[in-house]
Each structure stands twice: as C-alpha cells, then as structure tokens.
Amino acid sequence: MTDELPALLRRTLADAKLTPSEKAALADWLAKNVTTDQQRGVARHAAFDAARGALPAECAGVVGWLEDVMRVLAPMGPQSHPGVNAPGSPEPDLALFSPGERCLQQIVHRFMTARRTADVCVFTVTDDRISRSILDAHRRGVKVRVISDNEKAFDPGSDVQKFRDAGIPLKVDDVRGRGRSDPGITGHMHHKFAIFDGVRLLNGSYNWTRGAADMNYENVVDTGDPKLVAAFAAEFERLWNAF
C-alpha cells in the first residue's frame, strides 16, 4: 500500500464529509490498485488509521474497537467467500517476493489480523508502514514483543525507540556475546521472522525497510506449518532469555 491512499483519505477527512467527487476518486483508486481481499483489508485499515490520526488520543481506542468489530461483522479474506478456505480450514502457505509491495502487505496484514500475540525478531525496522501496524496491534491489546539488533537500533529512521516509548517489550542482542557458544564472538542479530498468535510464521530475507520493498530482491514465506512455527518460537524464546 503506497502513501497515495493515506494522503487521499486525509484530504477527504479534512471536512469530515465524503463528497460525491471524493467518493469517485476513492473508488477509482481502489479499481486501479486493489485486486485482492488482502489488499482491500490493508486499504480499509488505512481508513481507520486516518480516523485515529484525526481524533484526540482518548478517542483512538474507540476507533480501534470499531475496526475490530468490523473485522468480525464483515471479515475480509478468503473465508468471506463460501467454499474457498471456509472458516476452520487452514490458510495456504505463501511465498512472496520483492521489489514490490506483496511482502510489505503480507507483513501488515498479519499484524492487522493478530488477536493475541506477535513475537517479532528482526534485524531492523525502518518502514513506517510496518511500524504503524505494530503499534496499532499493541494498542488493540495484542501482546507484542520485539527483538532487534543493538547497532541497527540507532540507525537513522529506526523505529525501535517508538516501540519502547509505546511500552512494547523490546530486547536487543548483547554486544558482549552473552548467550553465544563463544563469548568472544560478537555479531548482528540478523533474523527476520515473526510469529503471530503462536500459529503463523513469517520468515525470509526481507528486511523491514522501504528499500526492501522498493529496490531489493527479497522474499517472505508465510506458513502455518506447526513444526516450523514451533522451531522459530523456540528460537525466539531462546534469544529473549539470552538477551
């Protein structure tokens, strides 16, 4: 999802009215840019995000509540189509690639649909679109934990401090090598994976940066394979305890 839609939504929200011409412009943007239920869900989330930004902080929780209610009353995704991955059926595993926004959209989608937990273990986070989805999940009551690299946390554009300020539990790797087989060896916490509600895993080369979406040849695998989810969950807990 590009920045074009948030900008369009903010313009339509300026007078708190959706005029016929604005409605036409929004429909035109959707027709040109949205081809899947997942993309429509990301677009819908952008609308709620715009509403949150226009309201006092004490009202943001009401908007989050409304978004969650709408997900229940009018769900997006395959389960909204009878006969195709009906409720209770496992979601398909996906392999996604960049350049392009498919990896980005899938990461945002997972945070949007997380209900209980999100354990994030990534080298760096500088893409504000991903960071907003992490913060939104935290505000909804999802228990988010983040592990990142200690050096990348100080890079220009890093959103690690935003997570700390929001009260998200966060750890970085220990530069002294604590928890490593050889305490004299130091290096980067270079993982890029996340586990959602203990049942879904995102993993791949994709760094959570704009460059990964715009320029790099990267990949993300989204899987519900129980053995892989369990293996990565164990690695997350090992690192969480070590750091």
Q: Which residues are catalytic?
A: 190, 192, 197
Residue 90 class from Cβ within 10 Å (0-12 exposed, 13-18 middle, 19+ buried)? exposed
Polymer length in residues for the chain: 243
CA angle, 20 then 54 then 68, to 5°: 85
Give Cα 236 to chain centroid, integer Å. Answer: 18
ω into 99 cis (within 30 of 0): yes
- φ, ψ of residue 223 to 5 degrees: the values are -140, 150
d(CA 43, CA 116): 22
d(CA 211, CA 164): 24
Give Cα 28 to chain centroid, integer Å. Answer: 26
Proportion of the chain in helix, strand, coil states, percent, rounded to 5: 50, 15, 35
Q: Which of 221, 218, 200, 196 is nearest to 209 (CA)?
A: 218
192-196 and 200-203: which strand pairing? antiparallel
